């Protein structure tokens, strides 16, 4: 049991569980939180899960937790672990089942008053055009050849097929296509699960929001990101759907069977892993990268459908005027170089936030740092941040959202879906959801305060606040 | 044991404890938990379970057997667009670990909850007095 007494205070926003807390820890564990968020961390098992991460072979510096940290399985959500690429492991439990679950934000050339009279029509059209919910297939059934191209080329393939613009590619983390992706490493079963799911939102916490820019914190950076006060933006939150879930299941099972071979002892079986340099480790990385490409392609196709709906409702014969600002992954393992060391950085419910000057940031954003997209909850706010050089201590990682504090079960007991819908509509938010239960489970009260979480990220010097976005329309699966 | 399963607290995912007089019954009741969660949107087509499917799984441990069997049910549910509701264990062995079940499901367009996967996290299968229990965390 970890108590507050067991933590060392490093600063007002950083706490440490020392390496001697448990004999199997290889490095200390560090948590980014203020007093308020720290109290919430003790209500679940996330600290124990973070300590488990600190035991993984090859982990360097610290097992890290972001301020939206909460209990998951394997890694805690909001967990970051960087492993030495030659000595360390890769773990599907450090990525999660929804490989490359992530977020993209589009900016429009309209403002709130332009859109308000047509908002309900727009949300209806988006709901009609973008399949959402569980089990609903998409418009595209991928042939074997299409599937291979999506898995190995991601966004570029869809743009080539006419589902997007050339600049969409540049405005994606990894340019929407990870190096090392191999379609052959993804099982036939995973491909079968994904074959009709491209361009579908899915259920759970996935959503699509129409938002308005409520506040600008940094005028100069906002200008570079193309953001203005009262401007309308669209946020898309989805992942690799059943294809990614099956890939993770397949590899957790495979790596499990090989733990003895690599003499790996684990405190939680969900952390099943293999040395990155082993055949199994390399194979998982190739499959994960391919699944990540599927997720980027999924968000690309959803965006394409939104652009179509936008044009139909708001009218424009040439284009929708919706431009992709950026797209970030928040469940992924990446090969990155930090301080001259090649690392496998696991981010599970955490967002990469490269600072100014990074060659992996699109050229137009490079002087000010990577756009970092942080979705909030349905009724509150989302944020756009910019990466900072001082983010080095977390391998340039920040939170991925608000972070749950309440179980779905408990949220359901407190508020019905109908009541949640009514509360949101009273705030002027148009809500379109197929599942009242899903709405209740994702009620804002089930989450931490996004403003508090982002404040800690900013105060700890991990990223700079650029803009806050307020939802005006929500589609939920 | 009257109760098939109960839902345990977890801040983000679905954690259940399934009960049964023996291991096959615990397995079936864990699968029933999936069916119940997925069926929460009433089925507009109201169909009765159709064609029987056989599921055969072999694994290297009891825990893996449960995870692999439930994962297969989730997989088939997604690709066949069904919710599996009827389970009969035709064969069950602990040496080697294997299960053969006969399964039926109802066709489905829209499920109540997106159960993404069966995890190994906090997985526990044990005898508790006169019955068996299994704790399973599903990623949702």
A106-161 residue pLDDT tens: 999 999 999 999 999 999 999 999 988 776 777 788 999 999 999 999 999 999 99
User: CA–CA separation, A319 vs A32, rounded Å?
Assistant: 43
Residue A334's Cα: distance from chain center in Å? 14
For A107, A198, A209, A233, the CA distances from A163, given in Å and listed in that order, are 18, 12, 20, 20
Handedness of CA A180, A345, A77, A374 (dihedral sign): negative
Q: What pLDDT does residue B41 have?
A: 57
pTM for the model: 0.95
In a domain, A334, yes or no: yes
Query: Residue A461 sits in a domain of what CATH number?
Result: 3.90.1860.10
Query: Smallest CA–CA separation between A74 and chain B, in Å?
Result: 6
* CB distance B34 to B14 below 8 Å: no
Q: What angle do CA A205, A207, A213 make, to 5 degrees?
A: 120
Q: What are the phi and psi torsion angles at A72 (to 5°)? A: -130, -130
User: CA–CA separation, A48 vs A2, rounded Å?
Assistant: 7
Looking at the complex, does the CB of residue B9 fall below 8 Å from at least one CB of chain A? Answer: yes
User: CA–CA separation, A21 vs A426, rounded Å?
Assistant: 49
In a domain, A431, yes or no: no
Compute the 3-state secondary structure of chain B and give helix, strand, coil in percent, each to the nearest 5: 25, 40, 35
Q: Which of A248, A272, A438 sits opposite B117 (nearest CB)?
A: A248
User: CA–CA separation, A306 vs A313, rounded Å?
Assistant: 11
Cβ <8 Å between B79 and A97: no
Q: What pLDDT does residue A269 have?
A: 92
Kindly report whether the peptide bond that precedes residue B82 is cis, defined as omega within 30 degrees of 0: no
In a domain, A39, yes or no: yes
Other beta carbons within 10 Å of A422: 12
Query: Smallest CA–CA separation between B113 and chain A, in Å?
Result: 7
Cβ-based contacts under 8 A for chains A and B: 113
- What residues 23-42 of chain B have any CB closer than 8 A to a CB of chain A? 38, 40-41
Largest CA distance in chain A: 66
Looking at the complex, does the CB of residue A202 fall below 8 Å from at least one CB of chain B? Answer: yes
Cβ <8 Å between A477 and B117: no
Q: pLDDT category, A344, cuts 50, 70, 90?
A: very high
* CB distance A267 to A201 below 8 Å: no
The CA dihedral of A260, A291, A350, A427, to the nearest 10 degrees, is: -140
The secondary structure of A11-41 as a DSSP string is: ETTEEEE-GGGSTT-SS-EEEE--HHHHHHH
**A71-99: average pLDDT:** 96
In a domain, A440, yes or no: no
In a domain, A429, yes or no: no
**A204-221: average pLDDT:** 95
Cβ <8 Å between B116 and A97: yes
Adjacency order of strands within the sheet including A341-348: A8-11, A14-17, A29-32, A63-73, A75-84, A341-348, A331-338
pLDDT above 90 (res A215): yes
Looking at the complex, does the CB of residue B71 fall below 8 Å from at least one CB of chain A? Answer: yes
Query: Residue A288, CB half-sphere, CA atoms under 13 Å: how many?
Result: 32
Active site positions of A, annotated: 400
Looking at the complex, does the CB of residue B73 fall below 8 Å from at least one CB of chain A? Answer: no
- What residues 157-196 of chain A have any CB closer than 8 A to a CB of chain B? 189, 192-193
Other beta carbons within 10 Å of A167: 12
Selected for mutation to probe chain B from A45, A134, A377 (highest B CB count within 10 Å) is A134
Q: What pLDDT does residue A429 have?
A: 94
Instruction: Output the six-digit token pair for B112.
Output: 């109540």
User: CA–CA separation, A299 vs A154, rounded Å?
Assistant: 10
**A164-177: average pLDDT:** 97
User: CA–CA separation, A150 vs A174, rounded Å?
Assistant: 14
**A208-223: average pLDDT:** 98
Question: Which residues of chain B have a pLDDT value below 50?
Answer: none
Q: pLDDT category, A472, cuts 50, 70, 90?
A: very high
In a domain, A424, yes or no: no
Residues of A in contact with B79 (CB under 8 A): 189, 192-193
**Among A443, A347, A336, which residue's Cα sits nearest to residue A399?**
A347
Number of structural domains found in chain A = 1
DSSP three-state, residue A236: strand
* CB distance A378 to A207 below 8 Å: yes
Cβ <8 Å between A404 and B123: no
Cβ <8 Å between A193 and B140: no
Q: List helix spans (H) across chain B.
A: 23-38, 62-80
Q: Which domain does A69 fall in, by range?
A: 4-405+447-476
Q: What is the pLDDT of residues A377-398, one digit of tens each?
A: 877 899 999 999 999 999 999 9
pLDDT cut 90: percent of chain A above it: 85
DSSP three-state, residue B55: strand
**A272-290: average pLDDT:** 98
Q: Which CATH architecture has domain B5-139?
A: 3-Layer(bab) Sandwich (3.55)
User: CA–CA separation, A133 vs A200, rounded Å?
Assistant: 8
The DSSP bridge partners found for residue A231 are A111
Rg of the Cα atoms in chain B: 14
Residues of B in contact with A202 (CB under 8 A): 114
């Amino acid at each position: 049991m970890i108590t507050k007494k067991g933590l060392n205070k490093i600063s007002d926003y950083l706490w440490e569980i020392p390496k001697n807390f448990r004999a199997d820890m290889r490095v200390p564990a560090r948590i980014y939180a203020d007093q308020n968020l720290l109290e919430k961390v003790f209500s679940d098992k996330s600290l124990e899960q973070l300590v488990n991460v600190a035991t993984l072979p090859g982990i360097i510096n610290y097992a890290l937790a972001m301020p939206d940290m909460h209990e998951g399985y394997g890694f805690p959500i909001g967990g970051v672990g960087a492993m030495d690429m030659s000595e360390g492991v890769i773990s599907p439990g450090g990525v999660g089942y929804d490989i490359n679950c992530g977020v993209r934000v589009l900016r429009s050339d309209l403002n709130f008053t332009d859109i308000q009279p047509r908002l309900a029509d727009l949300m209806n059209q988006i709901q009609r055009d973008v399949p959402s919910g569980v089990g609903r297939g998409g418009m595209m059934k991928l042939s074997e050849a299409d599937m291979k191209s999506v898995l190995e080329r991601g966004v570029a393939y869809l743009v080539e097929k006419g589902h997007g613009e050339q600049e969409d590619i540049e405005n994606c983390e990894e340019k929407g296509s990870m190096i090392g992706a191999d379609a052959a490493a993804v099982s036939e079963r995973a491909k079968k699960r994904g074959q009709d799911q491209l361009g579908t939102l899915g259920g759970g916490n996935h959503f699509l929001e129409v938002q308005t820019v409520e506040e600008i914190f940094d005028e100069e950076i906002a200008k570079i990101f193309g953001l203005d006060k009262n401007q309308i933006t669209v946020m898309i939150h989805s992942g690799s759907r059943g294809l990614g879930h099956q890939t993770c299941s397949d590899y957790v099972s495979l790596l499990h069977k090989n733990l003895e071979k690599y003499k790996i002892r684990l405190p939680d079986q969900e952390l099943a892993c293999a040395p990155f340099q082993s055949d199994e480790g390399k194979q998982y990385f190739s499959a994960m990268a391919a699944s990540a490409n599927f997720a980027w392609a999924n968000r690309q196709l959803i965006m394409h459908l939104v652009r179509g709906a936008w044009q139909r409702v708001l009218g424009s014969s040439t284009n929708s005027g919706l431009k992709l600002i950026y797209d970030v992954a928040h469940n992924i393992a990446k090969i990155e170089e930090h301080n001259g060391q090649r690392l496998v950085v696991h981010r599970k419910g955490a967002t990469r936030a490269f600072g100014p000057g990074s060659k992996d940031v699109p050229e137009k954003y490079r002087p000010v740092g990577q756009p970092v997209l942080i979705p909030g909850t349905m009724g509150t706010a989302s944020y756009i941040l910019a990466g900072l050089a001082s983010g080095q201590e977390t391998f340039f990682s920040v939170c991925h959202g608000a972070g749950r504090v309440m179980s779905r079960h408990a949220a359901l007991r407190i508020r019905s879906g109908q009541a949640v819908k009514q509360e949101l509509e009273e705030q002027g938010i148009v809500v379109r959801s197929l599942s009242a239960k899903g709405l209740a489970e994702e009620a804002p009260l089930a989450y931490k305060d996004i403003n508090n979480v982002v404040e800690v990220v900013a105060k700890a010097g991990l990223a700079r606040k650029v803009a806050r976005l307020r939802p005006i329309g929500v589609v939920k699966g | 044991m009257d109760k098939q399963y109960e839902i345990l607290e977890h801040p983000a995912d679905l954690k259940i404890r399934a009960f049964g007089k023996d291991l096959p019954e615990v397995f079936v009741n864990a699968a029933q938990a999936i069916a119940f969660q997925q069926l929460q949107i009433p089925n507009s087509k109201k169909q009765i379970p159709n064609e029987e499917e056989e599921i055969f799984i072999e694994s290297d441990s009891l825990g893996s057997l449960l995870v692999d069997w439930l994962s297969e049910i989730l997989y088939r549910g997604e690709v066949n667009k069904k919710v599996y509701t009827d389970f009969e264990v035709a064969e069950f062995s602990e040496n080697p670990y294997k299960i053969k079940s006969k399964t039926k499901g109802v066709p489905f367009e829209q499920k109540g909850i997106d159960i993404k996967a069966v995890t190994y996290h906090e997985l526990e299968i044990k005898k508790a007095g006169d019955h068996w229990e299994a704790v399973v965390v599903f990623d949702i």
